[in-house]
Amino acid sequence: MSKPINDLSLEAIQRALSHYAGDAPDARAFAEVTIGTWQQMAAQLMPVIGTGGVNVLFNRSLHLTCIAFPWLTMLGDKRVNTALLASVKARLAGRDTDEAIHASCTLLVTFIEQLKTLIGESLTERLLDPIWVPTSPVTKQENTS
- Which DSSP string corresponds to 56-77? HHHHHHHHHHHHH-GGG---S-
User: Which residues, 6+ apart, have CB-to-CB distance to 91 below 8 Å?
Assistant: 71, 72
pTM score of the predicted model? 0.79
Contact call for residues 143 and 135 (beta carbons, < 8 A): yes
**Among 93-102, 123-132, 133-142, where is mean pLDDT lowest?**
133-142
**Bigger pLDDT: 139 or 23?**
23
Q: Average pLDDT of the chain?
A: 80
Greatest CA span in the chain, whole angstroms? 41
Mean pLDDT of 17-23: 72
Of 78, 84, 88, 94, which Cα lies nearest the Cα of 28? 94
Domain boundaries, the chain: 5-132
57-91 pLDDT, tens digit per residue, is 999 999 999 999 999 988 766 666 778 888 999 99
